[in-house]
Amino acid sequence: MLAYQHAYHAGNFADVHKHLALFSLTRYLLRKKSPVTYIDTHAGRGLYRLAEPETQKLKEYESGVGALWSARQALSGSSELLDGWLAALQRLQPGVAKTLSHYPGSPWWLAQGLRSHDRLSLFELHPGEHGHLDGQPLLQEARRIHGDGLAGLQRVLPVATPRLCVLIDPSYERKAEYAEVAESLSFVARKVRHAVVMIWYPLLPAGRHMTLLEAVRKADIRKVWRSELEVHSLDSATHGMYGSGLLVFNPPWGLGDELENALACLLPRFGPQARQRAGWWVAE
């Protein structure tokens, strides 16, 4: 199935959760001089114009990044991570007025801190989405591969650089993807034990994310941290996402606290039902 196009959901609350964590993670990795290979298994377009018909159809960005953009002056100084993230987002906007017109996907966030000795590989299976990705001038240094990211990940490991950071962010169109993602994490953990892996998953009323979580717990993988952001209660969610989840294998020390503090500042912007929880899913 290749029906999913992230343009319909670009900039929603789940993107904010995921990309704020990714921004924090890359900042921690850049504190060391040794080179890093970044791999994004489900890259999407890389950059989204909010005026696109797909994005305008649902306008999910309005209650996501749009709510934070409107409140950025009030949020200023509340979190160093949030300040840096919003500043990066502002630099991306064209023109002098810096009106919010574009939202970057994970490839753009990964590319922001790319140094000359780092490497970035972007996998995208959807032919239309890969076409957009391949034409992104902001990603000149990235290797863009039209293909299955989970299969591609297994082919390229181990990597030549001393460090590895992987983002696994599928659409979960197929139920089997939850188990496949857990299997991919197990593979990476065996091949590159020091790798840092971030996995995103949706919180849906059907609760299928528990397949992923329980498979990771049973796989004897250690040091897996979890963050979940809920913007609706499960009881009120009849369809669609009520929240966003992240697993991070081998998280840098301090990442959890930094992200939790930033999310705490954002919760009021996401509505009265918004809440977060975080902690070790599998302890060290």
Local confidence pLDDT in tens for the 284 residues of the chain: 566 788 889 999 999 999 999 999 999 999 999 999 999 999 999 999 999 999 999 999 999 999 999 999 999 999 999 999 999 999 999 887 779 999 999 999 999 889 999 999 999 999 888 988 888 887 778 999 999 999 999 999 999 999 999 999 999 999 999 999 999 999 999 999 999 999 999 999 999 999 999 999 999 899 999 999 999 887 765 578 999 999 999 999 999 999 999 999 999 999 999 999 999 999 98
DSSP string, the chain: -----GGGTTTSHHHHHHHHHHHHHHHHHTTS-S-EEEEESS-TTSEEETTSHHHHHH-GGGGTHHHHHHTHHHHTTS-HHHHHHHHHHHHHS-SSS--S-EEE-HHHHHHTT--TT-EEEEEE--HHHHHHHHT-GGGTTSEEEES-HHHHHHHHPSPSSSEEEEEE-----STHHHHHHHHHHHHHHHH-TT-EEEEEEEE-TT-THHHHHHHHHHTT---EEEEEEESS-GGG-SSS-SEEEEEEESPPTTHHHHHHHHHHHHGGGG-TT-EEEEEEEE--
Task: Quote the pTM value.
Answer: 0.95
